[in-house]
Structure 1
């Protein structure tokens, strides 16, 4: 190679034979190479070809030793406006010739032609294969996405498929690689007076790294232009995924029973369940659509309703081809919440009616609402089918009032009102057949005892004209509201009380305004007031449920909350209080909440204007029993986890180990040692596993103060015993977006486990370890699913056996 500076402003490419020839040549730049070229091709004539964008004039080869050899126009040639003169200016002709040779070699019938797309004759090369109904487009000029879509539509009109092979690296190439897993590329390399064509395969996950193959080694098949790297990618790449967009707000869904999803659906993949479901997004109507769920979980039964709160995406096909929803995590709703969605109702036999004023069988110790809330939709169906001949029992206030109270509280939470007929449909009870006297008695039980800080839910029930119940005054009179029976303000009172209910049960709850005073504008004489008060305090009949209270005629004051005596709830409170000093912070907080709610219901704690206490006072007895029992279960699990951790650490300390002699000068011991932080972390993760939950990284002990490196080290220490029969508790920790933590891969590596390269495989391993942790610390313990991640090659796992 000579050391002089090349002058690339001269013409380097031409065609031979005539001006319209498509046989390109490149003039060698070195003088000695040009001498050999002249000897090899003595009869060549060179032209500034029209297919190069030239003037069509004849060219001569100029030999130089002090600068680059090049072609030059004859003095008589016309003025030439050709702009592309370099080595690559004839690449389209070299590609055309190379593809034609490949067709002849494989004896494939086809037509190859160059295209001028607006910037010159070398913009593209099209290859038509009529036998395979296929077309290839070698795109050599720049192209944006919209122009590419227009060209794709035009080229694919009369063929079955279309392949794109790009010369420049553009956003379009990355778009195609993202859609199909790879993108075909083309480039030319100069060898003497020739430009050799190479075909490359650029994968989506290795942008910028292309595996090149000479065009002569490629094969034209019915599936397109292939090479060994392309064939390998096509066999190993996953099926292209549709475009997706995140969904905000969450939704509920119920699978459609016995619905079949076509296996040829573009949304169907081997690692997902594809179901037809009725879906209700937040603040929207129900729509029937396809939903894609992880295949590592069982197919959700159609007799339940499920909620998806985060990480949902909408999958969309182009040109209106359809859409589906992809969800990775979902939870099953209980019967009470499922019924509120409108996607499920209790089977008719679950609440069979015997007569006007009667309902389905009721347990003597549980209300209708509690029985339904504790029974899943499937369980209700099973119970109906297993006992079709059960004899219904008569309706009682004790069993029906809590169910009605819960239903009215839900209606207030939705900032709505209702009627008796709507309540009957909502609860599946024959309430519409009750007489007016029985309705009054039932509503008195619902709102007893009267408290200034608990709204009267009877105000939410409207008559047919939209006004308050005609006997609302009688109900309030029996509850202890002075002047209510004959007040002219009842309609206004019901409006104010409805607003108080909306405030108390809303989400979030708000402070309630004062209850409307029903004191007349012109008070009665003192004698008549005393007579009215005596009449109000005197029971009228054996079924009267009036509550005596001290009344000041000039100002309405509600009766104080009546104290209740319940040995069962008091015993649960006492037991939970005894365990409270041993609990971790989060479990202790849950226990305090359950105790406070039960004390409010018992009347031992004043309600005042605290929204949480208002709701607790309005809850039925069964609600507080369930809350206390759940808190007790969590407390026992928390204590058992702490004891397990203590035994585990004691066994580790008892095993002989090599001790490194400490230096004489040691740094002062910090306030909380790393070992103590690890113990707290392990205890919290065991508690989370026992409850079948996950925990956000920021909610861990020290999650908001410790650096990620320290948290990773602590999590690795917790999982140091990474044997197959021990789950990885670090998998219970989620990133703020709900996925695995950024350093979960590093934790697997530190534990001597194989580290997957694919994010999909990592998520599958992460979810499986969550299932294993939930099974290992469940009460009772469940069998552990097998671990998906193997041990890294060459590593050994060892550690103490868990107790």
Structure 2
């Protein structure tokens, strides 16, 4: 192939991040699946990975309507990659799946390699764990019997416990069946925009029964599938006579159960498992002390950590033959320790303190320091009330230099009670503005204990606690509003009647800015959200942007980084540093100042909003609410939407296309009064209820020359429909949608030309 020609081979797989990445992606064949695949991604994300046997150069995703979509190299091309089909990255998918599966079962040191056995990387997948003494080897390439025997002997000589697993084309799984009575096989299937990994059990009759990897568990023997478990003879403990197989078992939902304070049980009544006594709490329920059974060779759970059961688990009854009493235990393949010592999803779980661990003198919340700390917390919560927001407890204490682990839940209750004492009539409970990180909206964990410490009853029902919390939060916001005439405590909205509504409008507009990967002038932001800039002082502007962002977190975008002053080309706004510090950001080893952090926070906002858009399948509306516009026109927006919908239904019944001038006349507004972005917003509302399969009335709206309106692609994109930036393709989509509309309304009125 001459170097100036473009490589048109149908490369279906790539890697993302860097040329040597082991993170694979599969490009779907269909153009509709292609559009969903590309949401949140850019054309520069893909590489012809070296672990795929590729050249490491960037690939371009190609979209086609009448042939398979695929990746292609960018010229000039010099690549000798031989495997390019949909299964060409299966070794990477299998390696990633095994790595995740082992880590969910408590193995932290898991390494994956892809040896080159002569045909390129991925001839085998080798996954090492258990301090490097255990190995799962997935044989992908074909191998002779002699090679197989030699390699097995080599691993045995290395004193390593190895389980051999076989890919779909290895051709030697039958040798394993002869040696072990069965073989474990891996295969991948295309499902949507990925390759899903399945595990099969091959029997002597060559039949293979497939399950997902999550349905399997790990024992000393290696991967055990449900088919192997069901085929094994019933095991009975010799000492107790407890039957541990073929019994009733209730499956538990992964990720809904956590435990801590685990200690080995004195009696081990479960074959091939090790029992632990532990504090266990299901999501939304109370804590209980019971036993949990883990594989013999799983990493023992630490009593000083909070652990989540994220793999397959069952609740199993056992009957003690000596007493006749039935007990229960939880059997699971593994667990994942959490980095934090507490989690709002399981508020009753309290890990035992680690031996010898004492808080440093500088970080100790000793009683002598409580008064200063309480005063600081009270002042910070008053600032949060002025911004009409809430704050994470973790962020709140970091303002004073503490870490979350420096305080127990009891310490938190004690400090929050001190913040709100004494309780007097009309005084808000500022603790109502505190929540835990990752907690759903609502009262902070143990808020009922805070209320009890302030004089409420100690036996409040959960709905009573929530009602008091909502009332006290509103009282805190109202108090700030009453203090507004003093000058320094004005609500962030200035002259606006509802600060929370303004915050929502600011946030929505900044999400649209992030989706467009751009910046916005402060004056423009104020104008399009319907605020009055004269009522927002510089200090109120900072409080407003702090309320928009809530608190600093690596999982949350800092939308304030997208705001700049009028006339400013780029870079952080002069007030960005103050906003960032108020959010709880602290300098790091590489980002020592807000100015240095600004490009990072801007790019994080772009990426996190794009990720949220990809997950929801709906980008932010490409248009603004235009509150000021409708106020100036003296007409309600929903009235215009209804009129436009009626006019489009009438056009569909008559089989004609219409211009925007016709729709504006039907709605009683001048055509030039509504800009393109507002017209698009109206048509989106008209077709919002159509779903993924309904007809689009907006396709009947045409520009002069019977061309699609310039914002038709934005409408399709927002509604989750296939779209294109190419005029010919967009025109084709519009014609198809028009034909569907006419067919749906056919027969109502004789057709006539528009």
TM-score (norm 2): 0.29
Q: Greater CA radius of gyration, 1 or 2?
A: 1
- Greater relative contact order: 1 or 2 (C-alpha under 8 angstroms, separation 6 or more)? 2
